[in-house]
Structure 1
Amino acid sequence: MKKIFLALLVFAASITTAAAQVEIGLKVSPSLNNLRAESPSDKAFKNDGSQFGFGGGLVVDYFFGENYAFSTGLLLAGKGGTISYRDISAPSSSTMTTATQKFNMQYLQVPLTVKLFTNEIAPDTRLYFQVGGSLNVPIGTRINSSKFYTDPATNGETKASDHVLFFDADALAAFGVEFQLAKSTKVFGGISYNRGLVNIDRYFEKSRDFNDITIKNSTVALDLGIKF
């Protein structure tokens, strides 16, 4: 009986220790987003403007050392921007014009990163540096503020969501400062950069037979949050 009781105490202690290693919180992230567009010179795809976005959600830091944590979560992230390119002006026309598309996309995002903390630089204050990546799934897409897009070069109408790949992945880098308010309450603020690694175009090469078109996301965000 004593051995069983001792085992239960050790088990309970291990659970308590594990729980103390996990910090859960919420954050909001206003952002500036753009699309990196590339193509052969005849189509002249390029970034033609940035746009503001907003995101946020759940953050989870699992500490495997005093100053080291695996950081993940479940976030809603706004992305997009405006691209321009050269195309015919109408289905039966040979006149070339500059066309534009403004993308506004919402993604569910799962960061997979390592967060490194300094020792205290002031009472209850530490800097952090975060590196890794994120996996992203689009849950909403609009082109020129509409869920449908009519291409002036073909007069064909498509769903805006059909223009975007069903998956995206980012490289992520961030830094910021974390301040301990109470025993289990911390607030943090920082800047993060998400650089898209995947060509998200599903329209120009598939439906328009354009060659070597690349469109990728980029986001710079201000991260503000609280952990409990």
Structure 2
Amino acid sequence: MRKKYIFILTILLGATSAMSQIQMGFKVSPYWSSNRVDVEVGDVNVENDGNGLRLTFGPVVDLSIDNNENYYFSTGLWLSSRRAGISYSGSERITQSYNLQYLSIPATMKLYTQEVMLDKRIFFQFGPTFDFKVSEKLKDGNRSIRLIDDFRFIDVSLYFSAGLDWHLGSTTRIYGGLTYSRGLVNAAKNTISDLNEMTYKNDLFGIELGVMF
């Protein structure tokens, strides 16, 4: 019976230790949403049609690697909006913009320097995000025809950020920095016949503000 209690206590202590290496928080990131468009068709010209201010927000989870306070695996669940603006010149001129929403799951590394000032460290974060489309809507432009009839359900981006992390207490921290997210795959699934060879990828430039507990 005593061995049983010792075994249970060992498991609880191990779980408590593991949980102590997990930090949770929340971030908000306003950014400029743009896109890269490429078409290999002779008489058709397609270009990016402007940028839009959008927002990402959601919980952040950082898991310490080897109990090291400078190296973390960082993930979360972020809701993000994106703007897809396209200008088409073919048999006629059409401009359209779409509003897209994604749930993003990052799988990134977050690295911290030693203190550069009292209670302040610089951080760098990089890695892929896996983006799952939850909504798409034609917002502006000619509604009689959609240049992109459907966007892919899954998108993949390469995420970069860098900024300053500030300890406010034993566990609470706030941070802020610059972010860049670069789409890696063609997000356009179905297009009009003139644009069968079109590739569409996202570019997001912004700032982020967050708090960790």
What TM-score comes out, normalization by structure 1 length? 0.85
Q: Which residue of 1 aligns with 2:28?
A: 28
| Residue pair 2:44, 2:194 contacting (<8 A) in 1 also | no
Q: Distance in 1 between matches of 2:186 and 2:131?
A: 13
Instruction: Give yes or no for the alignment of 1:103 onto 2:104.
Output: no
Q: Distance in 1 between matches of 2:50 and 2:149?
A: 22
Q: Which residue of 2 aligns with 1:218?
A: 203
| Residue pair 1:104, 1:145 contacting (<8 A) in 2 also | no
Cα deviations by residue, 1:42-68 (Å, 9 ceiling, x for unpaired):
212221211110120011000112210
Instruction: Give yes or no for the alignment of 1:119 onto 2:104.
Output: no
| Residue pair 1:43, 1:87 contacting (<8 A) in 2 also | yes
Give the secondary structure class of the aligned counterpart of 1:132: strand
Q: Which residue of 2 aligns with 1:7?
A: 7
Letter in 2 for 1:180: H
Q: CA deviation at 1:221?
A: 2.0
Q: Distance in 2 between matches of 1:106 and 1:145?
A: 16
Q: Distance in 2 between matches of 1:68 and 1:118?
A: 9
Cα deviations by residue, 1:77-134 (Å, 9 ceiling, x for unpaired):
1112422121223xxxxxxxx3211122111100010000111111111111011010
Q: Which residue of 1 aligns with 2:83?
A: 80
Q: CA deviation at 1:209?
A: 4.9
Q: Which residue of 1 aligns with 2:63?
A: 62
Instruction: Name the Cα RMSD after superposition.
Output: 2.0
| Residue pair 2:148, 2:190 contacting (<8 A) in 1 also | no
Pair member with larger Rg? 1
Letter in 2 for 1:224: L
The answer for unaligned runs of 5 or more in structure 2 is none
Q: Distance in 1 between matches of 2:196 and 2:78?
A: 34
Q: Which residue of 2 aligns with 1:138?
A: 133
What TM-score comes out, normalization by structure 2 length? 0.90
Aligned length: 210
Letter in 1 for 2:205: V
Give the secondary structure class of the aligned counterpart of 2:152: coil
Q: Distance in 2 between matches of 1:201 and 1:77?
A: 18
Cα deviations by residue, 1:22-48 (Å, 9 ceiling, x for unpaired):
001111111101110011252122212
Give the secondary structure class of the aligned counterpart of 2:44: coil
The answer for unaligned runs of 5 or more in structure 1 is 90-97, 152-157
Letter in 2 for 1:221: G
| Residue pair 1:141, 1:161 contacting (<8 A) in 2 also | no
**Structure 1 residues 71 and 172: alpha-carbon distance in aligned structure 2, compared to 1, 3 A threshold:** same
Q: Which residue of 2 aligns with 1:93?
A: none
| Residue pair 1:125, 1:180 contacting (<8 A) in 2 also | yes
Give the secondary structure class of the aligned counterpart of 1:171: strand
| Residue pair 2:96, 2:140 contacting (<8 A) in 1 also | no
Q: CA deviation at 1:149?
A: 3.6
Identity level (%): 34
Give the secondary structure class of the aligned counterpart of 1:122: coil
| Residue pair 2:31, 2:206 contacting (<8 A) in 1 also | yes
